[in-house]
Amino acid sequence: MTNKLIELPALDAPRLAPETGNQLVRITGGIAALGIIACVAAALVDTERFAFSYLTGFLFTVTIGLGALFFILLHHTVKAGWSVAARRHMEWVAWILPIGAVLFIPVAALAPKIFHHWWAGPTGPEDPLSAKSVYLNPTFFFIRAIVFFGIWSLLVWWFSRRSTQQDETGDARLTVKMQLVAAPMMFVFAFTLTFAGFDWAMSLDPFWYSTIFGVYIFAGSVMSSLALLAVVTILFQKSRILRRVSTVEHRHTIGQLMFAFVVFWSYIAFSQYMLIWYANLPEETVFFRNRWYVGDWYWVSLVLIFGHFAIPFLYLMSRHVKRHMNGLFVGAIWLLAMHYVDMYWLVMPNHDTATPHPSWIDLAGLLGPAGILAFLVAWKAQKGPLYPLKDPRLIESLSSENH
């Protein structure tokens, strides 16, 4: 790729109109403020319940950011052309990861209530936790969290910085640099996401383990980030803000990827269940026992089976749905809701296995982190260009077609 400046004809407006951007920031800022207030109130009313509800909302939000970071790395690794405009939107979403370090503070403060099974350490040499105490201990837990957010924040900053530099300079060598860094960082991303999933979700039951759990978290992360990308894309298209840079073909491709990761998540979820069922080891089967045979949790499990797989599988299979604004928008909102149910299913049985009883505290735990994510995306959209203005593959993206 040569070092030449990219000169393109006039396309869509590179920035939001000031009144539109300000309105978006005000609305999402109000939602974020309401979420923060609700979190404080919930913490005062029922601290223990809020601890698990907030962890659910935290995982919902951070995993969406991780899916966006994966999209950025994949875009550069495979030298994709169609996803140029979509990459900018995912860069906005991925910025929740540096903010996630702040969102993690309540998790850290409430950790003794959340991870109470292992937080105090093993009771003696006969305690099964004694063999895991080298890994499951507060000091190492916080060290790993700092490492995770440090790596993710550095990656988000590095790629976003070069992307915006290219908007100013048109230097095609920046694209080459990002391609060279993206491939090895895929391995770093995979390890950090996997161990974060172990730390923040799987270790809620320290006696249970699954070697495929990191892949399970990854599949839900990418699927939910694609669903949010579809929402952002469709809102821009409905407002006629992006007409040439983001078209029905890009919408169709996003829908195809959503469908693919619905199938992938379902495959990983079934594989995890089938292997544990087949082995029939008590320390493994307890996870699914608490989500099927105890209380009414089997209803939530059924919601995941049908709502996270069967219904979206049949719905997104249609080419018409993937190309229709309202059709894909409904599918994307549905999948975001199912991603929250998935995180709820992972976290909340560890708080109360008797029966699932949704509460306003759960809504507060979601609205805080998710509201901040919405505000961040709106603020980024107001501040910077809506698409990479001088990306050397922008012209290729304009000619993207699905056959």
Q: Which residue has the higher pLDDT, 244 or 253?
A: 253
**Using CA atoms, how far apart are residues 371 and 151, in angstroms rounded to an integer?**
24
Q: Which helix (H) or strand (E) holds 358?
A: none
Give residue 5's pLDDT. Answer: 42
Which of the four pLDDT bands, split at 50, 70 and 90, describes residue 403?
low
Give residue 24's pLDDT. Answer: 93
**Using CA atoms, how far apart are residues 91 and 306, in angstroms rounded to an integer?**
31
pLDDT exceeds cutoff 70 at 3: no
- The answer to whether the CB of 209 falls within 8 A of the CB of 202 is yes
**Using CA atoms, how far apart are residues 82 and 397, in angstroms rounded to an integer?**
4
Q: Is the dihedral of CA 137, 140, 146, 149 positive or negative?
A: negative
Q: Exposed, middle or buried, 155 (CB in 10 Å: 0-12/13-18/19+)?
A: buried
Rounded to the nearest integer, the mean pLDDT of the chain is: 92
pLDDT exceeds cutoff 70 at 353: no
What value does the mean pLDDT take over residues 376-384?
92
- The answer to whether the CB of 199 falls within 8 A of the CB of 217 is no
Lowest-confidence region among 46-60, 235-249, 375-389: 235-249
- The answer to whether the CB of 172 falls within 8 A of the CB of 2 is yes
pTM, two decimals, is: 0.94
Amino acid letter for position 312: P
Which of the four pLDDT bands, split at 50, 70 and 90, describes residue 209?
confident
In tens, the pLDDT along 89-102 reads 999 999 999 999 99
pLDDT exceeds cutoff 50 at 208: yes
Q: Is the dihedral of CA 60, 65, 66, 70 positive or negative?
A: positive
**Tokens read off for 5:** 């400046």
Tell me phi and psi for residue 243, to 5 degrees: -115, -40
Distances (CA, A) of 266 to 17, 89, 219, 261: 41, 26, 9, 8
- Residue 347, CA atoms < 13 Å, CB-side half-sphere: 32
pLDDT exceeds cutoff 60 at 2: no
Could you report how far apart the first and last alpha carbons of the chain are, in Å? 28
Q: Which residue has the higher pLDDT, 42 or 119?
A: 42
Task: Quote the crossing angle between the two packed helices 96-114 and 84-94, to the nearest 10°.
Answer: 40
Lowest-confidence region among 35-44, 53-62, 245-254, 353-362: 353-362
**Using CA atoms, how far apart are residues 62 and 201, in angstroms rounded to an integer?**
12
In tens, the pLDDT along 28-60 reads 999 999 999 999 999 999 999 999 999 999 999
pLDDT exceeds cutoff 80 at 121: no
In tens, the pLDDT along 139-162 reads 999 999 999 999 999 999 999 999
Give residue 122's pLDDT. Answer: 74
Distance of CA 89 to the CA centre of its chain: 14
Which of the four pLDDT bands, split at 50, 70 and 90, describes residue 243?
confident
Angle at 287 between CA 49 and CA 112, to 5 degrees: 35
What value does the mean pLDDT take over residues 361-387?
95
Which of the four pLDDT bands, split at 50, 70 and 90, describes residue 6?
very low
Question: What's the Rg (C-alpha) of the chain?
Answer: 22
- The answer to whether the CB of 295 falls within 8 A of the CB of 354 is yes
| Closest among 332, 355, 350, 82 to 228, alpha carbons compared | 332
Give residue 17's pLDDT. Answer: 86
Give residue 10's pLDDT. Answer: 52
Tell me phi and psi for residue 75, to 5 degrees: -55, -45
Give residue 97's pLDDT. Answer: 97
Q: Which residue has the higher pLDDT, 124 or 235?
A: 235
- The answer to whether the CB of 277 falls within 8 A of the CB of 285 is yes
**Using CA atoms, how far apart are residues 108 and 143, in angstroms rounded to an integer?**
11
